[in-house]
Amino acid sequence: MPASGSRVRLDLNSPAFQEVFFQLETSELKQVVAALNRLRELDWNTLYRHKGFHWEAIEHLTAPNGAKVYSLRLSQRIRALAYRDGDFLRLISLHSDYDSAYQP
């Protein structure tokens, strides 16, 4: 695995992520895009410590590469599920209902 201090790279190619992303209302879309831009500017050490994204492990989910899946806040209403794969943060899905991000 690359060093924890390397810059976060985003993978937004998940069909489940895109399905919700392209349906967001303009105000929500702007907030999510702004959060994604902030993520791109961070290194991994900073992301792990960042309080604004509320980075939380989802213990009952495992990524395709065996990594832990995490929930992170992209706006007041929108959370994303994602996992680390090398330098990439692979976004799996978006959830406008906070609780749905934590369901099995």
Q: What is the pLDDT of residues 22-69, one digit of tens each?
A: 999 999 999 999 999 999 999 999 998 888 999 899 999 999 999 999
Q: Specify the CATH number for the domain of residue 96.
A: 3.30.2310.20
The mean pLDDT value for 67-85 works out to 94
Per the domain annotation, does 47 fall within a domain? Answer: yes
**In the structure, what pLDDT confidence band is assigned to residue 96 with cuts at 50, 70 and 90?**
confident
**Rounded to a whole number, what is the largest CA-CA distance in the chain?**
37
DSSP state, 66?
S
Q: Please give the tally of structural domains in the chain.
A: 1
Determine the pLDDT at residue 48. 87
Determine the pLDDT at residue 59. 92
Give the CA distances from residue 94 to residues 4, 43, 84, in Å, rounded to whole numbers and listed in that order. Answer: 25, 22, 16
Is residue 100 pLDDT above 80, yes or no? no
DSSP state, 44?
H
Per the domain annotation, does 68 fall within a domain? Answer: yes
pTM of the model: 0.85
